[in-house]
Amino acid sequence: MPTNVSIEYANAEKKYHLANNPEEKLAALIEMKSTAPSHKGCESLRAEINRKIAALKSSIERQKLASSKKGSAPSMFVKKEGIGQIVIVGLPNTGKSWLLNKLVGKKIAEVTEHGFSTFKPEPGMMPYEGGLIQLVELPAIISGSSSGKAQGKEILSIVRNADAVLIVGNVEEQKIVFKEFELSQIYLNKTRPKIVVKSSSFRGIQVSGKEFLKFPKEQLINYLKNVGFSNSTVIISGKINSIKEISEALNESIVYKKALFVDTRKITEHFLIDLKDQLFLLLGKVLIYTKKPGEEVIFKDPLSLPKNSTLFNLAEHLHKDFAKKLKFAKVWGSTKFPGQRVGPNYKLKNKDVVEINI
């Protein structure tokens, strides 16, 4: 590294060497380019950075093309059922089968003292508040699963499609799984950076919400130009700390999953009861029970809707004609008094009982 570069350049170069994937390397290189010295003595440095940027862009495009030719259907697949699908993941012999059987309440998977006893996805339905949550034990993850070892890519494809993840093992075992996930661009308990970039028919880059940007706007504009967004509209709705976050937001291969980490060696019966509630919370849903006028509610087979769903959303879920004709409903649970009449925009809460009137 040249001795007369700035601290910003040095930090960007460090990010480049620590990057875990091509997209992160590209983001770091573009940051290096924007912070590299502009004097004549560093022409060869800037040329080398440009060469690396071009090579990485070409490599990323080839990978995208290869992925599209392979098709998107994974060789392992488990159809989603019930309130939501949660996959149970861990290294060999960490108690995945035992935990699945305990949560489901019957023997689904074979429990052995040796590892690699699960060769294919093992689904089971966990009873919860009158409904069922689908749990799927996956074959073991190992170091190198992200590169294809031990059917790793097929296993991780199911994780990408799942609603949430339960990782089993001690701290060191959990770290290995976490690393394999990140290498596969599966990010746990994170959210996509709050920035949207859309190509525009107007010239230049228009930025809205630049007060959330924690580095010079010029760096953002320079980066977007280098990755093909010379004419674009940018909407920032939350804190953006680095170019790496911009790269992450633009990378459509990244998926974000809610996850719980459990060591089965420390589980008690009381903890298992609490764990069921925690698993439901991972799904980000509310359970709604419906009843007909004049009849008692049966707390069975609840409807599951995303959090913050309205009465109108519930009616749409039941039948599109219900939503068109909906005027009000009576709700028990979250309202100020039992059976209160509410309108289509009322936000439903978990375990509400709804009697729809059309």
pLDDT mean over 119-142: 94
| Residue carrying the six token digits 């989603």 | 80
Phi, psi of 235 (to 5 degrees): -120, 115
Q: Is 106 exposed, middle or buried (0-12, 13-18, 19+ CB in 10 A)?
A: exposed
In the predicted model, what is the mean pLDDT of the chain?
Answer: 88
Q: Model's pTM, two decimal places? A: 0.79
Give the span between the Cα atoms of 59 and 67, in whole angstroms: 12
Give the span between the Cα atoms of 96 and 94, in whole angstroms: 6
Residue 205: pLDDT band with limits 50, 70, 90:
very high
pLDDT mean over 22-44: 81
pLDDT digits (tens, 9 = 90+) for 287-321: 999 998 888 999 999 999 999 999 999 999 888 77
Q: Are 25 and 214 in contact (CB under 8 A)?
A: no
pLDDT mean over 204-216: 93
Going from the C-alpha of 218 to that of each of 11, 34, 137, 223, 243, the distances in angstroms are 17, 9, 47, 9, 11
Fold of the 1-72 domain = Methane Monooxygenase Hydroxylase; Chain G, domain 1 (1.20.58)
Predicted local distance difference test score (pLDDT) of residue 118: 66
The CATH homologous superfamily for domain 85-191+255-281 is P-loop containing nucleotide triphosphate hydrolases (3.40.50.300)
CA 236 to chain centre: 20
pLDDT digits (tens, 9 = 90+) for 240-280: 999 889 989 988 889 999 999 999 888 888 888 899 999 99
Give residues with Cβ within 8 angstroms of 49, minimum separation 6.
29, 32, 33, 36
Predicted local distance difference test score (pLDDT) of residue 357: 74
In CATH, 285-357 is 3.10.20.30: yes
Q: Where are the domains of the chain?
A: 1-72, 85-191+255-281, 193-251, 285-357
Predicted local distance difference test score (pLDDT) of residue 73: 44
In the three-class reduction of DSSP (H, G, I as helix; E, B as strand; rest coil), residue 337 is classed as: coil
Q: Are 289 and 329 in contact (CB under 8 A)?
A: no
